[in-house]
């Protein structure tokens, strides 16, 4: 296994997955399902509520605002509730927000439901990464890769569930309600898991290092790329590529399937290649996929291009997460709580920016936001690595 600088490390002991590990995997996967299904239902909300691209993007922005608030205040709430209750509140609150989304009569109500979804649901990823790092120690990177893969098993089902629900005449709401039922089942079963104590943020002295904040910025950039694709791919496939609405919603699952395949395959690569090398290669693959997706002009090129984008984006989040946790050292719990601020900031700005630009110049041209973010992320990686080498030399 290698560290962030490619230095060889001793092979870690065999990884044991206990009930708490599976509970963390599945509960965060449920939250991922609710996040990913947003892109598939946005075109239908636009029609039902008669709103434009910018207003539709406010739904993602509302989720992001909730994440930012939790990222700023979540540590205290988690300390007060305890780890188990925080996860339960997060799961129940996310389910309630999704239910309110289904019954919202106007845009203000659906945006408010998304705010609740982000506010409560982001308690889950505020706890789970640090919890897994504490459980698995030197197997942390593998646990985080498996967590990401589990999330994308659920992510794949989001567009497929919408397509199936539409085909059965249940509308998009049927898929959301089915996801809520699965989430409640996970919460009911997970109550019996014995969760390890989460390290106290107050117990760790000092500030997070500058290298952490460099990787934090990188994390925000890759989340922005991922969510721009997730939220706007169904609309792009329908309105630019020309697929029927139901087909576009289902075909968007190609991105999630490729993400899943990339994370499953990537878990075998983590430890064999330096994370920075894998990260740079993933960004270049993302750019290649975008050229096919955006410039192909037909489903025969756009859909494979979307798959290549998924393969490229697949490892970006777990790699940046692992790099940030590694440089955070004993401040991993504080670092984990701060991740939600980065994720929320990315979701707040990037998809809304793409939607606002689309209202002015069209959805196709607006998609150039995606390669621009990718190039900035590549430059950010170079800057973060230089800062890490400078810190190591001191």
Q: What is the pLDDT of residues 170-229, one digit of tens each?
A: 888 999 999 999 999 999 888 877 777 655 544 455 678 889 999 999 999 999 998 899
Residues with Cβ within 8 Å of 292's Cβ and at least 6 positions away in sequence, in order, are 301, 302, 304, 305, 308
Q: What mean pLDDT is predicted for residues 248-264?
A: 84
User: Model confidence at 3, in pLDDT bands (50, 70, 90)?
Assistant: very low
Q: What is the pLDDT of residue 307?
A: 95
Q: What is the pLDDT of residues 290-319, one digit of tens each?
A: 999 998 778 889 999 999 999 999 889 888
Q: Residues 137, 1: contact at Cβ < 8 Å? A: no
Structure tokens at 353: 């920016």
Q: What mean pLDDT is predicted for residues 37-63?
A: 81
Structure tokens at 122: 């982001």
Q: Which domains does the chain have, with CATH numbers?
A: 19-198+207-393 (1.20.1250.20)
Structure tokens at 247: 């087909």
Helix (H) or strand (E) holding 271: none
Phi/psi region, residue 207 (left: phi>0; alpha: psi -120 to 50; beta: rest), is beta
Cβ atoms < 10 Å from Cβ of 17 = 15
**Helix crossing, 253-269 with 140-167: angle to 10°?**
160
Q: Is the pTM of this model over 0.85?
A: no
Residue among 270, 254, 268 at smallest CA distance from 318: 270
Phi/psi region, residue 271 (left: phi>0; alpha: psi -120 to 50; beta: rest), is left
Most confident of the ranges 68-72, 325-329, 364-368? 364-368
Structure tokens at 16: 């044991």
**Helix crossing, 332-361 with 210-236: angle to 10°?**
40
pLDDT, mean over the chain = 83
SS3 2: strand
Lowest mean pLDDT among 71-75, 107-111, 321-325, 376-380: 71-75
Q: What is the pLDDT of residue 202?
A: 46
Lowest mean pLDDT among 1-5, 305-309, 344-348: 1-5
Percent of the chain with pLDDT over 90: 27
As a whole number of angstroms, the distance between CA 251 and CA 324 comes to: 33
Q: What is the pLDDT of residue 4?
A: 44
Cα–Cα distances in angstroms (integers) from residue 294 to residues 197, 241, 252, 358, 374, in the given order: 47, 9, 14, 14, 14
Q: What angle do CA 92, 95, 100 make, to 5 degrees?
A: 125
Q: What mean pLDDT is predicted for residues 58-77?
A: 82
Q: What mean pLDDT is predicted for residues 32-45?
A: 83
Q: What is the pLDDT of residue 10?
A: 47
Radius of gyration for the alpha carbons in the chain, expressed in angstroms and rounded: 20
SS3 8: strand
């Amino acid at each position: 296994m290698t560290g962030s600088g490619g230095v060889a490390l001793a092979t870690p002991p065999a990884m044991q997955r206990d009930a708490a590990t599976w509970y963390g995997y599945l509960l965060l996967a449920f939250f991922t399902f609710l996040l990913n299904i947003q892109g598939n239902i946005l075109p239908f909300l636009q029609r039902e509520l008669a709103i434009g691209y910018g207003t539709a993007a406010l739904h993602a922005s509302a989720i992001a605002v909730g994440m930012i608030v939790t990222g700023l205040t979540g540590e205290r709430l988690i300390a007060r509730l305890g780890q188990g209750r925080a996860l339960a509140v997060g799961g129940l609150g996310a389910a309630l927000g999704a239910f309110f989304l289904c019954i919202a009569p106007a845009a203000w109500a659906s945006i408010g439901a998304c705010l609740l979804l982000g506010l409560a649901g982001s308690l889950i990823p505020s706890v789970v990464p640090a919890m897994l790092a504490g459980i698995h120690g030197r197997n942390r990177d593998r646990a985080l890769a498996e967590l990401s893969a589990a999330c994308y098993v659920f992510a794949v089902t989001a567009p497929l569930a919408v397509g199936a629900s539409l085909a059965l005449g249940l509308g998009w709401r049927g898929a959301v309600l089915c996801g809520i039922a699965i989430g409640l089942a996970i919460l009911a079963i997970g109550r019996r898991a014995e969760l390890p104590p989460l390290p106290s943020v107050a117990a760790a002295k000092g500030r997070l290092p500058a290298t952490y904040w460099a990787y934090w910025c990188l994390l925000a950039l890759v989340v922005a790329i991922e969510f721009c694709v997730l939220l706007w791919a169904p609309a792009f496939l329908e309105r630019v590529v020309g697929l029927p609405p139901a087909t576009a919603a289902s075909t968007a699952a190609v991105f999630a399937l490729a993400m899943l395949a990339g994370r499953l395959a990537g878990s075998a690569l983590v430890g064999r290649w330096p994370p920075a090398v894998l990260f740079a290669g993933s960004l270049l693959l993302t750019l290649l996929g975008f050229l096919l997706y955006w410039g192909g002009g037909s489903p025969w090129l756009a859909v494979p291009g979307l798959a290549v984008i998924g393969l490229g984006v697949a490892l970006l989040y777990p790699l940046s997460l692992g790099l940030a946790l590694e440089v955070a050292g004993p401040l991993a719990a504080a670092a984990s709580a701060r991740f939600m601020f980065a994720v929320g900031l990315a979701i707040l700005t990037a998809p809304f920016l793409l939607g606002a630009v689309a209202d002015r110049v069209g959805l196709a041209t607006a998609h150039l936001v995606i390669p621009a973010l990718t190039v900035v992320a590549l430059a950010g990686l170079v800057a973060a690595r230089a800062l890490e080498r400078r810190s190591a030399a001191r």
